Copies of this chain bind each other. A is one copy, B any other.
């Protein structure tokens, strides 16, 4: 943008640029786009976003985003409440539900331990997890296979195991449809280590 662009246009571009993954150039393009839209449409955009932020709460049990007090999964009597799958974020719940392979319940941490970014146990929903482990048989650590994901899984398992609860984690190995040729070294090593009998 140049000095000739009106102030409100520059401010709108700055707001877009605060969104994750939106660079300055894209933000400017979006701001120009907004000016070419009918006013009702821009109002619907602003209201839709504000309404989501204001009306969506977190489930008092699993901490996933939810419209009411308790989310539909925690409220579903057919789900196995004794198996808790611990994930980083709501999007991970969506992924598991889409796969259809899990009938237990979830716990959303809303982040991973990351001392470098100042995220310690207090910033995550760990207290809430501990509070619901009284009637639990197994906790599945389903954090990403990254440094932060691993660290969080290890940290939690050290807290939970002494309570006599089984703690497991997702299997590592080749993704479905992958070519061995293009698999990275760590994945190949783990696929070898965790090989199973045919």
Tell whether A162 is near chain B: CB-to-CB under 8 Å: no
Please measure, in the bound complex, the distance between the C-alpha atom of A90 and the C-alpha atom of B97, giving whole angstroms. 45
Chain A residue total in the interface (Cβ 8 A): 61
Complex interface residues of chain A between 1 and 56 (CB less than 8 A to chain B): 1-9, 11-12, 14-16, 18-21, 26, 28-37, 39, 41-56
Which stretch, A65-73, A113-121, A149-157, A182-190, touches the partner chain B? A65-73
Hey, what's the 0/1 contact readout for A105-140 against B, CB within 8 Å counting as 1? 000001000000000000000000000000000000
Copy number in this complex? 2
Chain B minimum-CB-distance residue to A48: B15
Cβ A21 vs Cβ B26 within 8 A: yes
Chain B minimum-CB-distance residue to A11: B48
Chain B minimum-CB-distance residue to A12: B52
Q: A44-B15, A56-B9, A65-B9 are in contact. Are A29 and B73 (CB under 8 A)?
A: no
Give residues in A with beta carbon < 8 Å to B. 1-9, 11-12, 14-16, 18-21, 26, 28-37, 39, 41-56, 64-67, 71-73, 89-91, 93-94, 97-98, 110
